[in-house]
Chains A and B, each alone.
Chain A
Amino acid sequence: MAAALLHGVGSTTPLSSVNYNNSRRSLPGYVVHERKRASFLIQCYGSLLPGSKIGINRAAKLSTNAVTTKQDNVTASTTSKPGHELLLFEALREGLEEEMERDPRVCVMGEDVGHYGGSYKVTKGLADKYGDLRVLDTPIAENSFTGMGIGAAMTGLRPIVEGMNMGFLLLAFNQISNNCGMLHYTSGGQFEIPIVIRGPGGVGRQLGAEHSQRLESYFQSIPGIQMVACSTPYNAKGLMKAAIRSDNPVILFEHVLLYNLKERVPDEEYVLNLEEAEMVRMGEHVTILTYSRMRYHVMQAAKTLVNKGYDPEVIDIRSLKPFDLHTIGNSVKKTHRVVIVEECMRTGGIGASLTASINEHFHDYLDAPIVCLSSQDVPTPYAGTLEDWTVVQPAQIVATVEQLCQ
């Protein structure tokens, strides 16, 4: 699916990436190791529009404008190697392949993941390399093969279950809620479920209501699971690897329209932190919290806002459950104004939870009520114009920030 995405901006972002070991914990005491903070700059020469002429120079020019970083902690630790360019689906595949190479217990199951290579090519070539059992083509039985993945995880494997579209996982809700989320607790900690459930979701290009669902809002109450959403090739690969290495069940949300994003990722191995948010652009006036595809609508709005003289701080929350209240909190304490831009529906979405959470923890620091921009509570219509109006558009974001910052 072509990512007919907004022109993006090469983003130079300071990232704190943590390499953590999988230190096992034994109950009841557990070892907690400190997070190492290593911030370094990644030069991303990303082109979001295939075929566009955006190259290195533009990224460099733009670094003083819409996307910028305060150049304080610049360590050139990774600029020695050139990195390599990947599309987002390739980044996912690379992360997956590296983990499969590293641990023979990692396996994939889903519809058309094997011989077909995955509907979005995330598993292309893997079945040839690893065989039909390690990259398992399942029949169309989401509830059962998700349950099968859970049973396999309980007995020692580390499966990755792919939902061809996240919406199909509604059929697996029984297994995801009861077994994936709760079984570790209900068994008194005896069985671990190191499963990764991933797939594309979100509103695409006129895919109709059922293929345009945002399941993160439905899953968020399930205790015992973690949810992350990737938005760039860099964080897609890092989160994929982190999710596979995690002993918790993790649901990784990808977006149908982001698979063809291109970015340069490091050559050396890296794993991101599942619980941390990503600072996309530092600013002073307002905190804009977003994730997945809406990040790009926000960045587009940010360009306009910067030209109008505003200085928005943009955070890609990445971790949908649990929220990284530290990064978010620090931002709120600085700017005192929050706008949440998400693709979930208005009712009961991630934004709704985030609003509640910020109000609860940082109420004193807010100068204005939190504004949450979400999709309309409407089944996504097929017609293009209607579909555009169900999701949040950059113009809305600009208008909201302008009003908030008066």
Chain B
Amino acid sequence: MACSATAKIIHNPLMLSSSRSAEKYESCCKISGPTSLLGSKFLGKKLLSAKSAISPASRRSGAVVAVSSDVVKEKKLKSSSSAASNLLITKEEGLVLYEDMYLGRAFEDMCAQMYYRGKMFGFVHLYNGQEAVSTGFIKLLKQEDCVVSTYRDHVHSLSKGVPARQVMSELFGKTTGCCRGQGGSMHMFSKEHNVLGGFAFIGEGIPVATGAAFTSKYKREVLKENCDEVTLAFFGDGTCNNGQFFECLNMASLWKLPIVFVVENNLWAIGMSHLRSTSDPQIWKKGPAFGMPGVHVDGMDVLKVREVAQEAIGRARRGEGPTLVECETYRFRGHSLADPDELRDPAEKAHYATRDPITALKKYLFENNLANEAELKAIDKKIDEIIEDSVEFADASPVPARNQLLENVFADPRGFGIGPDGKYRCEDPKFTEGTAQV
């Protein structure tokens, strides 16, 4: 349940050999890292001392505990009188979070529909179930902050502010798409909203994110600009076994780059279980190995994610360096729309279905009198209309014309070279028609 005061163990009762099974409840946190790196009072002093409370037995069994549960407990204990001040969010924030998560969910559901109706093609990877991570992190960012994602990037783009129309058009392959139809599902880019992609190969976005963070540091220290831009790199559990991940953890920590590495651990890399592919499945541990805090959080709970995100992003903004955040989450659908998803245990899926982040937030909002049914229904309706509109817009948009073929290959089209007649190829009138030979 979202933000309950009791410590929560994430476990799947059916995967007994997984690191997620637990024999006992421990109300301790799993932040570890050289304490000197936790400059700010990251989640409270109590939690640091709780490190020793982890008994050897539970360590071996790998009890995994939601980290921010104690934060909530602490806050609740502070003052019993005014309950409102103990809440993690205000009403407006709650509605923003709800709207964003519902937008992500509705959009992805519409994508599935459109795919099966033959409006979009290729590989489409949907984000259902993981909305808490995207919303929890990205809603804390400014427009100038950068987000780098993977092929599962529709919802990251939407959370960052790319209009649903542009994303849907891109999926339909129309010129009005955010990438003029040239990118597709796996390559969502937006210069205006600083979405740096959208990458098809796993891991290849992480160095790009590191570069964006490097630019931020460069602007501050070399160009002497007032720059506190932060970059978030999202990637999955499978990527955490890839070399680029480790190389970038090293460089980011070495140069204290303003970046947060967000692992969306949904336990599956297509059909490869995280536990079958990883020697030590606890990804958050890899942070301290490189000199940065490694944090583990319940990725199905948007408020817990947001809490951790606040700290991590704050760290980066203050110039204290990177953080590795492992969000335990789950995707309700298959890896992509082409994946029959026959390998995962139906019981596992059912278990996580009960932990739907949107339902959880709803319940929290109701229980804490932050919103009522009518307000949320109004938001649902508004989002549904936005999605409908985006589909109509995408449908009505034109497909790219032939003359678009050769544009954008080079920023400077002189790169196509000099033709036999002595003129640059791009000066050939056929070039603008898209029929020139280059």
User: Which A residues contact B (CB, under 8 angstroms)?
Assistant: 25, 27-28, 30, 32, 104-105, 107, 131, 133-134, 138-139, 141, 143-157, 174-175, 178-179, 183-194, 223-224, 226, 246-248, 274-276, 319, 321-327, 329, 361-362
Contacts and interface: CB of A to CB of B under 8 A. Distances in A.
Nearest to A183: B197
Interface in B185-211: 187, 189-191, 196-201, 204, 206-211
A190 B411 contact: no
Nearest to B200: A178
Nearest to A159: B211
Nearest to B406: A185
Contacts of B216: 155
Output the residue of B199, B201, B212 with the most chain A CB within 10 A: B212
Contacts of B219: 156
Contacts of B243: 141, 143-144
B214 A27 contact: no
Given A151-B214, A187-B189, A178 B201 contact: yes
Nearest to A194: B411
A97 B214 CA distance: 21
A97 B146 CA distance: 30
12 contacts: A28-B403, A28-B432, A144-B248, A155-B211, A179-B208, A185-B408, A247-B411, A248-B411, A322-B417, A324-B417, A325-B417, A362-B420
B424 interface: yes
A133 B221 contact: yes
Nearest to A181: B409
Contact of B210 (A133, A151, A191, A329): A151
Contact of A151 (B196, B250, B409, B432): B196
Interface hub of B183, B216, B410, B421 (most chain A Cβ within 10 A): B410
A275 B251 contact: no
A364 B412 CA distance: 32
Interface of B: 146, 148, 177-183, 187, 189-191, 196-201, 204, 206-219, 221-223, 243-244, 247-248, 250-251, 254, 403, 407-422, 424-427, 432, 438
A148 B410 contact: no
Contacts of B201: 174, 178
Contacts of B177: 188
Contact of A139 (B182, B215, B247, B412): B247
B411 A192 contact: yes
Contacts of A194: 411
Interface centre among B146, B408, B412 (most CB of A within 10 A): B412
Given A147-B211, A151-B209, A187 B183 contact: yes
A143 B313 CA distance: 26
Given A133-B217, A154-B196, A184-B408, 10 more contacts: A144-B243, A147-B244, A151-B211, A151-B213, A154-B208, A156-B215, A157-B215, A187-B198, A189-B408, A191-B189
B188 to A, nearest CB: 9
A223 B244 contact: no
B250 A187 contact: no
A139 B254 contact: yes
B251 A146 contact: no
B204 A188 contact: no
B286 to A, nearest CB: 15
A241 to B, nearest CB: 15
Contacts of B217: 133
Contacts of A179: 199, 204, 208
A248 B415 contact: yes
Given A174-B201, A178-B204, A326 B211 contact: no
Contact of A190 (B179, B214, B244): B179
Nearest to B425: A322
A150 B424 CA distance: 27
B251 A148 contact: yes
Given A248-B410, A248-B415, A157 B250 contact: no
Given A147-B206, A152-B218, A326-B418, A184 B411 contact: yes
